[in-house]
A = this chain, B = another copy of it.
Amino acid sequence: MYRSHNCGELNAGHINKEVTLSGWVQKSRDKGFIVWVDLRDRYGITQLVFDEERTSKEMLERAQKLGREFVIQVKGKVIERASKNPNMPTGEIEILVSELTILNKALVPPFTIEDETDGGEDVRMKYRYLDIRRNPVKNNLIFRSKVSMEVRNFLSTNGFIEVETPYLIKSTPEGARDFVVPSRMNEGQFYALPQSPQTFKQLLMVGGMDKYFQIVKCFRDEDLRADRQPEFTQIDCEMAFVEQEDILNIFEDLTRHLLKEVNGVEVDKFPRMLYDDAMRLYGNDKPDIRFGMEFGELNDITQHKDFKVFNDAELVVGIAVPGGNAYTRKEIDKLIDWVKRPQVGALGMIYSRCNDDGSFKSSVDKFYDQDDLAKWAERTGAKPGDLVCVLSGPTNKVRAQLSALRMELATRLGLRDPKVFAPLWVIDFPLLELDEETGHYHAMHHPFTSPKPGQLELLDTDPGAVKANAYDLVLNGNEIGGGSIRIHDKETQATMFKHLGFTPEEAKEQFGFLMDAFQYGAPPHGGLAFGLDRLVSILGGQETIRDFIAFPKNNSGRDVMIDAPAQLGQEQLDELKLQLKTK
């Protein structure tokens, strides 16, 4: 038996007990005649003590030679500490060691295994197994496990059945590129890895499973970024015989359950915001509503005043920056530079200072008098002491730009506290989205999303205006979940495919299996998928998703733990070539 207790559980109640502990040497303090060693495991740290008198000279000497991260086992007696540490659970006691065994030595680690480490990102990724020993990473992984468990508990309790769907599937186009897997058993043929189990969960609804969920890996062969992995985890859910309202209620309850169980936070009923309102008020379909700074549209009060920039603009829109009148001219110029950066892309920014005496001072005083500027302040909710920032241009672009500015300013103002949670539903998304490059419409959510009742006819005349039974769950400015009520009859599904540019033959070839299934008694159904990686990182305090993944891939796509995507042997390559030749 390697241990009678772990390193986090002994306290004054155990004094005089003989115990056995195992763990890693966190650090030691050597006073010559006495050595203290901090012994660490997943559960905590316990102080060991070795001295000439109470233990033995030989043991003391061996203790003095213990290096950081050595793996040791000790037997000894729990004794009261001379100088107690009230900040740690085991701070009242230490172990007077009677037996010391080195289970494994350790090289000097390439970075210190401490909460604040001296290791850079690259070296910590390379030695991820050492990084995981650090409390922040270890606690993140435990946190993720707890979130998953609470999701499962909640959904099981509410009658959802976890069903595993296959990973080796037929390719179904879902926007991103599929990873493909050559099959050796079926020469020249390939599986694809799923981008999501979307069609499978719909088939489960046709199959009468009624309430399905799965925590499942999904795959996209896309560029890697710090915050995007080619494999990601989804909490995938689907329900039959539901309307949008049923789905919003149950997954709002799930989210509230998580916030309570893992964050200890109680949240009221989630607000619901129309997509159009989110775009109008926040310039964004995933608004961060932990703070105000709502958009005020100014077209009617800024145009036809001889200011050509505004007169020519499709949209003139501003926000009030709380306390922003305190900015110096130089600071405001820097802000203007910020919005002109290529990442934001504004051509410039107009501002109006709201002085404490109720007067205004704008960068366009030539065109707008005090009454005009008072209207700007009113429209944006600016108070004396604030700064009104105004952007103008094509609606979609300027909304995105002002949204970026709003988020940036809120961050600077400390309004985005990761411990505050502000969830909301964004609903009534457009069914289709215009690809401005190609001029074609594509499904904003996916081609299985149903239009709002009665709007199917609009598809022919004004496709961009058709709203969908689609909804996103937004938390602190991030989309953490999204879903829709699905189409459940063959005719509507065929109509959708037609409007998405599929020929009947293409639709049949790619989705025939689903449309066939719809003919055998498909119930009304809908669902939602949470991005677990994102959800966990937000609940866990807004770090990057990679901080909550045991073995993330780094930016080059190389798997940090194993230093490469697999390099196949020549034999395997030849075989693959052969397969391709047989095509």
Contacts and interface: CB of A to CB of B under 8 A. Distances in A.
A104 to B, nearest CB: 5
A166 B210 contact: no
Contacts of A206: 129
B210 A169 contact: no
A488 to B, nearest CB: 6
Interface in A525-583: 549-551, 553, 556-559, 561-568, 572-573, 576-577, 580, 583
A185 B576 contact: no
A150 to B, nearest CB: 10
A41 interface: yes
A91 B40 CA distance: 61
Interface stretch (A170-178, A328-336, A361-369, A428-436): A170-178
A219 interface: yes
Interface residues of A, number: 120
A521 interface: yes
Contacts of A87: none
Contact of A185 (B203, B224, B246): B224
B520 A106 contact: yes
A524 B2 CA distance: 9
Contacts of A165: 550-551
Nearest to A211: B42
Nearest to A183: B565
A138 B521 contact: no
Nearest to A233: B164
A504 interface: no
Nearest to A20: B241
Nearest to A557: B185
A189 B562 CA distance: 14
A388 to B, nearest CB: 45
A381 B517 CA distance: 58
A222 to B, nearest CB: 8
A193 interface: yes
A69 B180 contact: no
A582 B163 CA distance: 41
A199 B166 CA distance: 24
Given A129-B207, A170-B565, A161 B142 contact: yes
**Which 10 pairs of residues, A with B, have the shortest CB-CB distance?**
A132-B207, A106-B521, A171-B566, A2-B241, A69-B521, A170-B562, A42-B210, A129-B207, A192-B566, A133-B208
Given A22-B241, A152-B152, 13 more contacts: A3-B241, A71-B522, A104-B518, A130-B520, A141-B161, A164-B233, A166-B553, A166-B561, A180-B566, A186-B557, A191-B559, A513-B561, A513-B562
